[in-house]
Amino acid sequence: MDTLVMSSLKTLGWLNQIKTKVLEQNNFLNYNEHKYYASFSSSETNKRVCYLNPQKNQIRLFTKLPLSYDYELEPTSATGGWAELYPTKFVIRSESKIEKAIELITSSWVFSD
């Protein structure tokens, strides 16, 4: 099965940096890849903490964080039940946003049920 089919070498590199740093810093998270997205889940409950949707020139990070958590968060572009579970997104458009993404992923764990 092909994974992360919409990504590019650039965004795969960013995703690998994020994955490596998050897993080094947090033994309470697991990482998984699927056809169109990657996700982090709680190692205790196996519930998803966040989703990452890598594309050619950006990665969209969908979190459980409230919009008021950080000024760089945007309302989710998702609809329905997905929007209720992951109300905010953060867009990574450059390598300079990787550290912020790592912080948001770790913080999103607190908001997972």
Domains of the chain plus CATH, in order, are: 9-111 (3.90.1150)
Closest of 2, 7, 103 to residue 55, by C-alpha: 7
Torsions phi, psi of 68, nearest 5? -75, -5
pLDDT at 110: 77
pLDDT in tens, 26-52: 889 999 999 999 999 998 888 899 999
Using 70 as the pLDDT threshold, list the residues of the chain that sit under it: 1, 112-113
pTM here is: 0.92
- Compute the distance between CA of residue 113 and CA of residue 106 in angstroms, rounded to an integer: 14
47 neighbors 112 (Cβ within 8 angstroms): yes
